[in-house]
Each structure stands twice: as C-alpha cells, then as structure tokens.
Amino acid sequence: MQQLEGKKAVVSGGGSGIGQAIVNKLAACQISTAIADLYIPPDLPSNTHPFICDVTTAPNINALYAGVQEKLGTPTILICSAGRGIHEKLTEGDPEKWQQIININLMGTLRMIRAFVPAMMQAGEGDVILISSVAAGKSFEYGGVYAATKTALEVIAETLRLEVMPKVRVTIVAPGVTDTAFFKNTVSGFHAAEDIGYGALSAEAVADAVIYALKQPHHVSVNNVTIRPTTQPF
C-alpha cells in the first residue's frame, strides 16, 4: 500500500456530505488538504486550508488555484466532489435549472481538471478522483439531467485516464444512496434517503473507498469503484 502522509490534496465540495467525509479521512492520513466550497464548516482539521469557491466560475477557479499554490504548492491529489441533484421531468422542467446542474456537476469538474492537472503532469505524479453516481448510465423518470451529467463524468474520466497515463491515475467512485443532505438540497424535487427504501451508505463509507484507491501502489490503478447499499438493486 502507498503511504499517503505528506501528500497534498484539493477537494471540491469539501464542505459537506461526501466531500467533507473525504476531507476528514485525508486529514487523518496526514494529507494537507485544500477545501473548495461555497460553505466552509467550523472546526476544521488542523491540516486543512479553506477556500470559498464557486466551481462554476473561471475567476473563482483561478483564485483557488493561486491560493492552493501559495498555501500548498502543486497538489498530488485532486478530488472533485462538488455536485447537486435535480428531479424534474424533461417535458416539464426548467432548462435554466438544468443549466445550473450541468455547470456544477460537469463544467465545475472540467474546470478543476483544467486548472490543476497540468501541474500534476509536470510534477510527474498524481491522482484524480471524480465522484459520480450509480445514476450514470441509468435512465429513470425525473432523473434525466442529473444522470446525464454523471454519465458524462464517466466519459470524461476515461478520456482523462488515456491522456495522462502513466503519470496520473484517474478513478471514478460511484456511490448509491448515501445519507447526506444531497436530497434536501436538490434544485427541484425532494426525497430523503429513507424515502427511497434501499437503506443508505454513510458518507464515511464512500470516503473509505476513495482512500482505498489512493493507497494502491502507483503501478496499480483502481479506475472504477461502485459502492451501494446491499439492498439497492441498481
């Protein structure tokens, strides 16, 4: 297993939910971590660095990159966890809301990749982890826009893997139902994890999957991890 102590990480969406759980796990591994989010929680681990950042805007990404370079230098780990859900019918929904989801889930990740991965390539090593969903490739009513962004992320991940191998490893982590505020914060529609009826993962369980991928020896790439409640059928 690869030692992680002393590495440097950036986590988008690190202020809540799965992203926050990942930040806490990284901090426990003695990884200095930049948290990029619109909300920064109190009582952060001592080896974290908060940055207020809207990943959908170029100026915010540019400021984040400059701040991370100043505080940490070039990161060895990039984790893109910022995302939001939407529950709307394609024949009735609001395209402006759909655009918000595309900007956050897809373009936000692409902006993070474009900002941070070139320096990782120049340094000769790194890991990129994208948080997807079991919704990728799965059509379901009211979930078309969200599922489309997650499907696109998986295409982006495989394309990036081909472009940056063997210096940088790329991993998709696709959780099933997870007990976070994700459902409460969907742009339209509302579910709680318990309403879905399959049980739910903890955010910490998803974060453990991220750490597992990072700890593999550099010549071993864990490219796809699907993690879901045992009773979830898809």
Q: What percent of the chain has pLDDT over 90?
A: 84
Show the domain range for 223. 8-227
Alpha helices per DSSP H over 42-107: 58-71, 95-101
At 136, is the pLDDT very low, low, confident or very high (cuts 50, 70, 90)? very high
pLDDT the model gives residue 181: 77
3 in a domain, yes or no? no
E-state strands within 42-167: 48-52, 77-80, 126-131
pLDDT at 227 over 80: yes
CATH code of the domain in which 164 resides: 3.40.50.720
Strands 77-80, 126-131: pairing is: parallel
Number of domains in the chain: 1
**Chain-centroid distance, C-alpha 204:** 14
pLDDT the model gives residue 137: 87
For residues 84 and 68, is the Cβ–Cβ distance under 8 A? no
pLDDT the model gives residue 194: 64
Q: Please state the rounded mean pLDDT for residues 140-150.
A: 93
pLDDT at 57 over 70: yes
234 in a domain, yes or no? no
Q: How many C-beta atoms surround the C-beta of residue 131 within 10 A?
A: 29
The DSSP annotation for 16-35 comes to: SHHHHHHHHHHHHTT-EEEE
pLDDT at 192 over 90: no
